[in-house]
Structure 1
């Protein structure tokens, strides 16, 4: 008889099909599990699958007295209270690097779109302004990529792939992270120094208390009127209100965002700027990335139910 696994976050059914062939999935559809299942049904749950950004604290863990494993679908795990899990001897796993290539791709796509003003250019053609020879200040020549200074904040698997792609575009790449890595890029010891140096800041750092709103008004002032922000990490890293103000007063040149402080993001002041390119948190949303993430989820669950250490643990 297949083992029962609770689906804690809201996932499209297609993402769970392969996993559902191996396990008896109890899908809470993003609602509190105690609203969807009886205490008796939850009493025997030993493992759950969650999205890393979904808040999962001690109170919820205590609703599942038999819980011993939390498996994150994706690389992130910032929503999980790791201290609460450790104190309850609950192991936590994730899908490291499974979507790194596709997230790095979207980072470069956002950077190219915002620095080359692709959205205004697309509108220029569709509106008929090009064929009518109407002048547009947004169509003025912009700096090209060779020699552009790219600062990568966070040199994990995603950061490394962003750096490699930027280098292939003949850009000058530097990075900062908690420690220096064996990579062929310039290491800058502080975020402040990196922001002052670069013309595009690529945010690829993990979310946490130490990175919450670390990109604030002061940082954006350091980035300057020719600088761009690209965020494919977590929305919490940027002070979004400060970003709107910086765009409004032209403190920075523009931004490319795949993540937001609150998701899904509704139209607002941020979405009105023509120098901002927005995508709906689709960095890792490719077929190959989902297959890789599902492989990691199943490998973690298989090992847990077999009484073995998780192959992809969060440490």
Structure 2
């Protein structure tokens, strides 16, 4: 008999079929469906698949007495009640590293788009403008790139920066001994002051809420650009909007933002902002890798083996 799995996120047809082959699956990708599914099937559910945005609350965990495995499909797990799950002896896993290449690619796409003003140039070209009447934009190569969070994604960003002949600095909770050639900064503000471009790739959650605040943006300065591919909560949206409108920051590119899925109203009217709807980690390859990682973890868990990517 296949274990009962509650899926709290949207899945494409291929991913859903792959998972359904291994589990007795209950799909509940919105709040109403989740409530109904737990009310009806909570006593039988042994595993939950979620993500960092959707998470899983302590109250819902307690309504599933047989629950033994909770996994986030991607790397993030900021809205998962980790301590409570652990107190119940529940095994926790995530998809760390499975979409890192995709997110790093998207971060550089955003950086190039905002620094080189690609969306505005595209619009101007369609309207018949020629280059002689358009402002010259900065280069990306041979500049200083600051990375906030040198995990799987941050390390991929540093490797890509080498191809642009960039000098790379980073901020982490502590220096990475395996990255001796990268310059470490013990505060985000110090990193921002040094950087031309600041890319945010740190985990979300209470510990990093508004880590990129007015002080950090001021340190980055009027020629600086910020890119966020982590979580919307990490950047203070109000402070960012003020800096962009006042010209004390040159530009910003965000794949994530506070109040998702609603776009940030204070930013959408500004021309020096590039926005995408939290798609940095989404590609057929990345999604397939994340699903395969979840299934590998689940098979190992239900076979009495440790998971490959524990939280």
Please state which band the TM-score falls in when normalised by the shorter chain: over 0.9
Q: Could you tell me how far apart the structure 1 residues matched to 2:246 and 2:55 are? A: 34
Matches within 5 A, 1:279-290: 279-290=276-287
1:19, distance to aligned residue in structure 2 (A):
1.0
In the TM superposition, residue 305 of structure 1 has moved relative to its aligned partner by 1.6
Q: Quick one: distance in 1 between partners of 2:107 and 2:168?
A: 14
Displacement of 1:266 after TM fit? 3.0
Determine the structure 1 residue equivalent to 2:224: 227
Is 1:147 paired with 2:142?
Answer: yes
Q: For 1:22-101, what aligned pairs fall within 5 Å after superposition?
A: 22-32=22-32, 35-37=35-37, 39=39, 41-101=41-101
Choose from 260, 263, 270 the match for 2:260. Answer: 263
Task: Tell whether the 8 Å contact from 1:227 to 1:254 is kept in structure 2 after alignment.
Answer: yes
Q: In structure 1, what is the Cα distance between the partners aligned to 2:34 and 2:196?
A: 49
CA contact (8 A) 1:151 1:173 kept: yes
Unaligned runs of 5+ in 2: none
Specify the alignment match of 2:192 in structure 1: 195
What displacement does 1:34 show?
5.9
Per the alignment, residue 276 of structure 1 pairs with 273
Q: Deviations over 1:266-307 (max 9, x none)?
A: 362311111111111111111111111011110111112222
Aligned partners of 1:68, 1:84: CA distance in 2, in Å?
12
Instruction: After TM superposition, give the deviation of residue 71 of structure 1 in Å.
Output: 0.9
The match for 2:173 is 178
- Structure 1: gaps (5+ residues): none
1:148-175 per-position Cα deviation (integer Å, ceiling 9, x unaligned): 1110011101001111111211111111
Higher alpha-carbon deviation: 23-32 or 215-224: 23-32
| Count of residues in Structure 1 that have an aligned counterpart in Structure 2 | 309
Secondary structure of the residue aligned to 1:271 is coil
Contact between 2:55 and 2:77, CA under 8 Å: does it hold in 1? no
Deviation at 1:29, TM superposition (A): 2.3
Q: In 2, distance between residues paired with 1:35 and 1:207?
A: 25
Structure 1 residue 196, shift from structure 2 partner: 0.7
- Aligned partners of 1:103 and 1:198: how far apart in 2? 21
Instruction: Specify the alignment match of 2:103 in structure 1.
Output: 103
